[in-house]
């Protein structure tokens, strides 16, 4: 990697309760992806498909029965039109590559676990404090660094930050004037947060 290379990914925050996610795989990789997804978006609509599904996934789904589904079958590309996003999380590179090809043919966004070259999106590390959510990406270079940086932010960000956000929203809602005037005022009010 060149020294002047930069991360060109564009971060977005998806409303996972409005999208349909398919996780292909029923083992440890699928467990990890499912755990972190539901930790951040407990109202996500998720389907896991695999011939064999680990009991841990079944236990996770038992706690989230409204938005989740398990299919004990081999992946079939015919289901792809029913999903917006796919995570290929099998323990087999060849199968993951076939899932990738099927998703590309169907126009469905895909993340192939531990294979950055076959990903349309990455699942970064996430820090949540109430309504504040910070996503961390290393452009697929080092998930371990992203994890450690997340832990650092969790240690230094106070739990009370959500109260600050609520107060700032109330202030913003009460402000008169045009957009530019509101931004200028709020920038002045929040300047003390970084000094």
Dist. CA 151–CA 173, nearest whole Å? 33
Residue 66 lies in a domain: yes
CATH code, domain carrying 133? 3.30.160
Residue 27 lies in a domain: yes
Does one domain contain both 178 and 117?
no
**Residue 47 in contact with residue 20, Cβ under 8 Å?**
yes
More confident residue, 90 or 68: 90
Residue 10 lies in a domain: no
Residue 2 lies in a domain: no
* pLDDT given for residue 158 in this prediction: 87
* pLDDT given for residue 4 in this prediction: 67
Does one domain contain both 36 and 109?
yes
Does one domain contain both 60 and 81?
yes
| 47-62 pLDDT, tens digit each | 999 999 999 999 988 8
Does one domain contain both 90 and 107?
yes
Does one domain contain both 119 and 24?
yes
Residue 4 lies in a domain: no
Reported as a pLDDT band with limits 50, 70 and 90, residue 1 is very low
Does one domain contain both 71 and 115?
yes
Does one domain contain both 118 and 129?
no
Does one domain contain both 58 and 110?
yes
**Domain hosting residue 132, numbered range:** 124-157
* pLDDT given for residue 188 in this prediction: 83
Residue 9 lies in a domain: no
Gyration radius of the chain's alpha carbons: 20
Reported as a pLDDT band with limits 50, 70 and 90, residue 2 is low
159: nearest Cα among 132, 129, 126, 135 = 129
Instruction: Name the pairing type of β-strands 85-88 and 68-71.
Output: unpaired
Does one domain contain both 63 and 137?
no
Dist. CA 77–CA 107, nearest whole Å? 12
| 144-179 pLDDT, tens digit each | 899 999 999 999 998 888 888 888 888 888 888 888
Does one domain contain both 74 and 131?
no
Residue 14 lies in a domain: no
Residue 6 lies in a domain: no
More confident residue, 50 or 35: 50
| 85-136 pLDDT, tens digit each | 999 999 999 999 999 999 999 999 999 998 989 999 988 889 999 899 999 9
> What's the total number of domains in the chain?
3
CATH code, domain carrying 45? 3.40.50.720
Would you say residue 195 has pLDDT above 90?
no
């Amino acid at each position: 990697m060149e020294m002047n290379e930069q991360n060109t990914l564009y971060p977005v925050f998806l409303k996972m309760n409005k999208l349909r996610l398919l996780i292909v795989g029923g083992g440890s990789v699928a467990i990890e992806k499912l755990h972190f997804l539901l930790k951040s978006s407990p109202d996500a609509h998720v389907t896991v498909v695999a011939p064999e599904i680990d009991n841990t996934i079944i236990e996770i789904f038992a706690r989230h029965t409204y938005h989740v589904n398990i299919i004990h079958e081999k992946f079939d590309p015919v289901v792809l039109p029913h999903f917006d996003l796919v995570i290929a999380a099998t323990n087999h590179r060849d199968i993951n590559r076939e899932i990738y090809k099927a998703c590309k043919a169907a126009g469905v966004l895909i993340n192939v676990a531990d294979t950055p070259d076959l990903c349309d999106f990455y699942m970064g590390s996430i820090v949540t404090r109430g309504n504040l959510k910070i996503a961390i990406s290393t452009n697929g270079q080092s998930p371990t660094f992203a994890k450690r940086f997340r832990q650092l932010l969790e240690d230094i960000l106070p739990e009370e930050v959500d109260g600050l956000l609520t107060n700032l929203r109330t202030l913003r809602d009460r402000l008169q004037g045009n957009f530019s005037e509101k931004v200028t005022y709020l920038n002045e009010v929040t300047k003390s947060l970084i000094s």
